[in-house]
Amino acid sequence: MTTARLTINLHSIARNWRALDAMTAAETAAVVKADAYGLGVEPVADALVEAGVRKFFVAVAEEGAAVREAVGPGPMIGVFSGHMEGDAELLRKHGLVPMLNSAQQLKRHLEALPAHPFGIQLDTGMNRLGMEPADWAELRDLVLGQHPVLIMSHLACADEPDHPMNAKQLRAFKQMTDGVHVPRSLSATGGILLGRDYHFDLCRPGIGLYGGLPYEEARPVVTVDLPVIQIRDVAVGETVGYGNSWTARRPSKIATVAAGYADGLHRAIGGGIDAFSAGQPCPVVGRISMDLITVDVTDLKEMPTSLRILNGHQTVDDLAEAAGTIGYEILTSLGSRYSRGYVE
């Protein structure tokens, strides 16, 4: 092995989708925005179709075109950013369904693609995307006359089950949509875990499919293996890496592996994580460089040729915690330098 290797278990993604699907009586879509959270939208969408997914969501129309390529003509592909200026041709050509976010988008859509399916996104308090209650009150009759295929909103605090915002948004969503005969969707991964009041007709998990919190029971999906470039002896009192941030307290063996913050292993991770050799943890020491990480392998019986930094024991959320961020950001920043392998 000469380059860092990212292995994505498609079987685990399919299992996670099935498990989330089984938690609700609703239909379960799959969110594959940002290149399937950095894991490669074509193989991931392919595997999900195989598992039974019939509805996908992406952030922008360009991503939807790539998903259409991967999944063929059947599945619905929804676009969260709606119908943006210049999108009409992409939406039409690839049969994408925009989730319209404003009066302006509604007008644009009905003018450019009058018979083309669309959904509506409502803002229930997150103030990020979607029509506000006042817009909706005004446009509702017009919209319903055009037969939207979905009405959706998004929860701001679903990863905190006790947060009062959840119930507040649920009330707002019901107020805006009760009695409307259109399929409704409120929940992503976190909302699925909040229970059936939040499920409505369609759920839209993303992170849970890819093995991340808040879905604690998720099967891990990614492993990352880093080739060892060099192993050296370091005497007591010698330091390792930029800023001399680590000092040997015993005669040590330090392995230098080929990956760093340019590969999404954020510099902020600092200490507190391990790299594994055949399951045995070895502490990462010194600062993470752009392309290099140093690991204390003194306690290994045999010197390794590679070390694993992401696995079922040390997950994207463990790395995220060490870096002061969330698993979503670790996944989506893994980047293009890895050689990728897929377990089918």
Residues that constitute the known binding site: 128, 290
Q: Which of 107, 168, 198, 242 is catalytic?
A: 242
Residues at the contact surface with ligand PLP, assessed by CB under 6 A = 31, 33, 80, 154, 188-190, 204-208
Residue closer to ligand PLP by CB (options 9, 185) is 185
Rounded Cα distance between 201 and 86, Å, is 31
Q: Which residue's Cβ has the minimum distance to ligand PLP?
A: 206
Rounded Cα distance between 121 and 18, Å, is 26
CB 304 to ligand PLP: min, Å? 34
Residue closer to ligand PLP by CB (options 80, 246) is 80
CB 35 to ligand PLP: min, Å? 13
Rounded Cα distance between 321 and 268, Å, is 10
Residue closer to ligand PLP by CB (options 136, 246) is 136
CB 30 to ligand PLP: min, Å? 9
Dihedral of CA 129/134/138/143: which sign?
A: positive
Instruction: Please say if 33 is a catalytic residue.
Output: yes
Instruction: Please say if 168 is a catalytic residue.
Output: no
CB 60 to ligand PLP: min, Å? 11
Residue closer to ligand PLP by CB (options 208, 304) is 208
Detail the residues annotated as belonging to a binding site for substrate: 128, 290
Q: How far is CA 293 from CA 42, 48, 205, 270, 299, in A?
A: 31, 34, 33, 10, 18
Residue closer to ligand PLP by CB (options 130, 286) is 130
CB 265 to ligand PLP: min, Å? 21
Residue type at position 77: I
β-sheet bridge partners, residue 178? none
Residues taking part in catalysis: 33, 242
